[in-house]
Amino acid sequence: MGKTEKLPAINNKILLIPAVELAEKIRKRQLSCEEIMKAYVERAKSVHPFVNTAVDERYEEAIKDAKEVDKFLASGVKSEEDIAKETPLLGVPFSCKETIGITGMKQTSGLVRSKDHTAERDGGAAEMYRKAGAIPFIVTDVPELCMWWESSNHVNGLTKNPYDNTRTVGGSSGGEGAAITAASSIIGIGNDIAGSIRIPASFCGIYGHKPSRDIVPNWGMFPYCEMKTEKEDRTIDFVSTGPMCRYVQDLPLLLKALSGNDERLKLDTKVNFKNVKLYYIEEYPGILNAAVPDVKKSIKTAVKHFSDEYGIQATPLICPELQYAFYIWESKLLEHDGPPFQFYLKGQNGKINMWLELFKSIIRSSEHTLPAIYFGIVDRRKKDEFYQFCLEKYKVIERKFKEIFEEDAVLLVPTHPEPPPHYLMTIPMYPNIAYTCIFNILGYPSTQIPAGLSSGAPIGIQAVSGPFKDHLSLATAAELDKVFSGWISPCPVDV
């Protein structure tokens, strides 16, 4: 299973209990919040030297918070039923992507010039978890400015994949993916502009959900999702914040907590798959987007399950325009008239020469990472003929998908066409984010589902559903958990 010899074994049963069960055991006082928090603090400390996930911690404060929860429960002030309703995650530890503010903790986004920046308040998503009773204890690593799918920067270093230390964890929520799969966190928060929840969740063999547009608050993040222009401030409407976790049964509760139990999502609706139309894509068209056999096999296995169990005849989705998906995403980003990526690298009053930074990177004297420099160079800023071509292709995709998802429907598609690449190989493979980024543009919910291992490393598939039909993609994930068995530990389990 790759190069994981040094990763410590999981030796505490608490680390293997889903969050929904932990919360119930805390409410019933079958487990103390303090012992749960101490188990995760100990695990985070033991795992960090091998994979470099936690970039800041509040271990002592989190244990104090846990003790306060235990005192509150012992007081009997509220009934178990009221606690479950008002604070359903009471006492459950959570990790958080470093870009989402946790008061007083690092919030650098891996940018050297911001290395001393700390969050002045909780970001919107973290605030929602806290309102549900969860307790933050670590924040986790990201790529520089979160604009790549490999979690490395010159502030906090490289996060390594727990399954194989030579492979990337993905990004930009890569630290979350690594922490959760290594059992040094049970639930987390990521955000997703092009696949930043789903790609690391796939590369780390866990679950991740990109919600429907405007469901979970995005404020309180760095870099900010507001794109400032001379005319107006605009928010990129394809940024989504969502949950990441090891166990599929946790997803509905986590999404309820993050969304404030938004009724538009119908998360308590039971799904009868006999009334759901199923579509699938084994791989996107185009040479650069080809999927490896194990990934295509996982799609076939999922399709067969729904046929065998529910008599559903899945329809292959033919959409040649998807070969341009990455470039369409780029064009839609440009359509928002936001400043170039270089603006965020240099700061509002600074200057930067990307070609000089490339040379400095070669001689290891740049404060920027190679992927960030590369993205700064290739970031298109021209609204040329190709830009218009891409926007026209998007209209075709939008019409086709709107027609499909007017009914209750689910699309199965690879999260990524191969297992996690080795370090820096994400640069020549950058168009592969096409598999995820198209659903950010469309605003559709998408759940990453672990689908086993290929060459000792995780692979995954997405269940995509229509706007505000997140319950369909989550139900599909729960169904396919029976097929693929969900999370596979990257290290020995000795309990």
**Taking 90 as the threshold, does the pLDDT of residue 168 lie above it?**
yes
Q: Angle at Cα 173 formed by Cα 182 and Cα 183, nearest 5°?
A: 15
Higher pLDDT among residues 210 and 365, named by residue: 210
Active-site residue identified among 32, 109, 196, 465: 196
Percent of the chain with pLDDT over 70: 95
Residue 480 identity? L
Q: What is this structure's pTM?
A: 0.96
pLDDT digits (tens, 9 = 90+) for 389-429: 999 999 999 999 999 999 999 999 999 999 999 998 988 88
**Taking 80 as the threshold, does the pLDDT of residue 338 lie above it?**
no
Active-site residue identified among 32, 95, 151, 172: 172
pLDDT digits (tens, 9 = 90+) for 14-24: 999 999 999 99
Give the pairing type, strands 164-168 and 160-161: antiparallel
Which domains are assigned to the chain?
Answer: 13-327+388-484 (3.90.1300.10)
For residues 472-487, average pLDDT: 99
Number of continuous H segments (helices) and E segments (strands) in the chain: 16, 17
Record the tokens describing residue 222, joined without a space: 């760095």
Question: 193, 428, 447, 438: which is closest to 323 by C-alpha?
Answer: 438
For residues 219-228, average pLDDT: 72
pLDDT value at residue 5: 56
Q: Grade residue 229 by pLDDT with cuts at 50, 70 and 90.
A: very low
pLDDT value at residue 349: 66
Q: Grade residue 210 by pLDDT with cuts at 50, 70 and 90.
A: very high
pLDDT value at residue 209: 99
**Taking 80 as the threshold, does the pLDDT of residue 52 lie above it?**
yes
Instruction: Using the structure block, give the residue that is written with the tokens 């070609």.
Output: 355
Q: Phi, psi (5° rounding) for residue 319?
A: -145, 85
Residue 456 identity? G
Active-site residue identified among 38, 97, 106, 160: 97
Mean pLDDT for the chain overall: 94
Tell me if residue 196 is catalytic: yes
CA distance 198 to 204: 10
Name residues whose C-beta falls within 8 Å of residue 127's C-beta, 6 or more positions apart in sequence.
Answer: 217, 220
CA distance 204 to 457: 8
Find out whether 236 and 465 touch, Cβ atoms under 8 Å: no
Q: Angle at Cα 30 formed by Cα 26 and Cα 35, nearest 5°?
A: 65
**Taking 60 as the threshold, does the pLDDT of residue 105 lie above it?**
yes
For residues 152-168, average pLDDT: 97
Tell me if residue 25 is catalytic: no
**Taking 80 as the threshold, does the pLDDT of residue 3 lie above it?**
no
**Taking 50 as the threshold, does the pLDDT of residue 290 lie above it?**
yes
For residues 74-84, average pLDDT: 98
Q: Grade residue 348 by pLDDT with cuts at 50, 70 and 90.
A: low
Record the tokens describing residue 220, joined without a space: 């309180």
